[in-house]
Amino acid sequence: AQDCSRRTVLGGPAGHSDTVEADIRRVGMFAGSLVARAALAAGDPAQALAALATLTPTERRSNLEWYPWSSLGWETVARAQLLLRAGRYDEALRVASITDSPAAVPLVMYVPASLAVREAAARALGRRDQAEGFARRLAALRPDLVSTP
């Protein structure tokens, strides 16, 4: 009998061993992300938000270089943007702040979008100092995204 508990279904780097359970988890994350994207394409932000809320990064930190999408960067920012549009500003701030995690390097590319969400949410909540802090960070990272009066 062949032991399949340590073989990988999705593949990975040469010599990289993983479990079928880990692959099943990754497929589940892909499926949830696709449900959210399909809902957005169909014009149903409530369905997209519900799908995004079910996703949780579960990849081991050591695997993120091989499975960078497992950090759920796009999904995190999309969820924060939907929360912002729904007027759920405190939640938008909380969710968008996940991109500041030093644990997941792939999230770095989502920091500018996250800062834009946090700035808008802080302004909507009347937290001017906090909003200005986010705006300064965004300007330092991406001066091309900062509007000048």
The pTM for the full model equals 0.78
Q: What is the CA radius of gyration of the chain?
A: 18
Q: Are 109 and 69 in contact (CB under 8 A)?
A: no
The token pair that represents 60 in the structure block = 């081991």
User: What number of helices (H) and strands (E) belong to the chain?
Assistant: 6, 0
Q: Are 76 and 99 in contact (CB under 8 A)?
A: yes
Residue-level pLDDT at 64: 64
Question: Which region among 47-51, 116-120, 145-149 has the lowest average model confidence (pLDDT)?
Answer: 145-149
The token pair that represents 72 in the structure block = 């759920």
